[in-house]
């Protein structure tokens, strides 16, 4: 079975837009696990515009499934991860001002750097994963870094699938087959949704984990909106 890790960054974005603690990030983390999620993901960025570094610390005592912290392994991020000791750290080559993750690592160009940071995390008992595009040379380069897993960056697939192009899965299938042959675990994430997740899963051999945030939270709003409007109307009829 492929594990679902729920990225709760959007909950923090909504909280921060108003101030205060609504919605409660820690409660959401507890609830998604209670509802069946096998993991919780956060991606604290240096400007703390959504998940804050303190949130990542506070979640340590709340996440009893798999805890995954994503980010660019700059000094502050590395210190945070080594302090929190999550189940997994996912390394993403984000620019400081990136709105969202938009590319995988060049595992050839940055191989020595990745080897160094991955070795440090593994010395501390933290499983490592690195964000990569479905390019065979990048998968081979990932193997050389010593990472435990890769996370396939799925935006290109999701976009093309939405246009009806089912062949967009092919480079991902080939990347997964190569990763399996190299004994690399396979995760995936970015723009996966209820519309495309089943097809993606069916075509990726030995998919271990998907990390889904933006679509899942948006779908939760769509699917729950009618119920909440009805509840308000019930209260207002009295």
Which of 85, 144, 82 lies closest to 109, judged by CA? 144
The helix-helix angle for 75-84 and 111-123 (nearest 10°) equals 30
Separation CA 56–CA 72 (nearest Å): 15
190 has catalytic annotation: yes
Question: 66, 70, 151, 209: which one is catalytic?
Answer: 70
Separation CA 178–CA 123 (nearest Å): 26
Question: 43, 50, 66, 151: which one is catalytic?
Answer: 43
The helix-helix angle for 9-18 and 214-236 (nearest 10°) equals 50
Question: 50, 66, 151, 190: which one is catalytic?
Answer: 190
Separation CA 142–CA 105 (nearest Å): 9
Contact indicator for 132, 142 with CB cutoff of 8 Å: yes
159 has catalytic annotation: no
43 has catalytic annotation: yes
Contact indicator for 88, 3 with CB cutoff of 8 Å: no
Give the residue numbers marked as catalytic.
43, 70, 190
């Amino acid at each position: 079975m492929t594990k679902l890790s729920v990225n709760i960054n959007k909950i923090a974005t909504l909280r921060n837009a108003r101030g205060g603690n609504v919605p409660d990030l820690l409660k959401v983390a507890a609830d998604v696990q209670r509802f069946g999620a096998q993991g919780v993901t956060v991606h604290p960025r240096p400007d703390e515009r959504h998940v804050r570094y303190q949130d990542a610390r506070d979640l340590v005592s709340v996440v009893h499934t798999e805890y995954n912290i994503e980010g660019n392994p700059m000094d502050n991020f590395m210190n945070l991860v080594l302090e929190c000791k999550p189940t997994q750290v996912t390394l993403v080559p984000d620019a400081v001002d990136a709105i969202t993750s938009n590319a995988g690592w060049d595992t050839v160009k940055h191989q020595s750097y990745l080897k160094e940071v991955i070795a440090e995390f593994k010395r501390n008992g933290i499983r490592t994963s690195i964000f990569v595009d479905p390019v065979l040379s990048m998968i081979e380069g990932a193997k050389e870094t010593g990472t435990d897993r890769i996370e396939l960056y799925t935006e290109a697939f999701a976009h093309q699938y939405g246009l009806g192009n089912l062949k967009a899965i092919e480079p991902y299938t080939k990347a997964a087959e190569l990763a399996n042959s190299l004994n690399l675990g396979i995760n995936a994430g970015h723009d996966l949704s209820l519309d495309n997740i089943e097809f993606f899963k069916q075509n990726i051999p030995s998919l271990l984990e998907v990390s889904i945030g933006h679509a899942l939270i948006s779908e939760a709003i769509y699917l729950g909106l009618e119920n909440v409007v009805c509840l308000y109307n019930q209260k207002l009829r009295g």
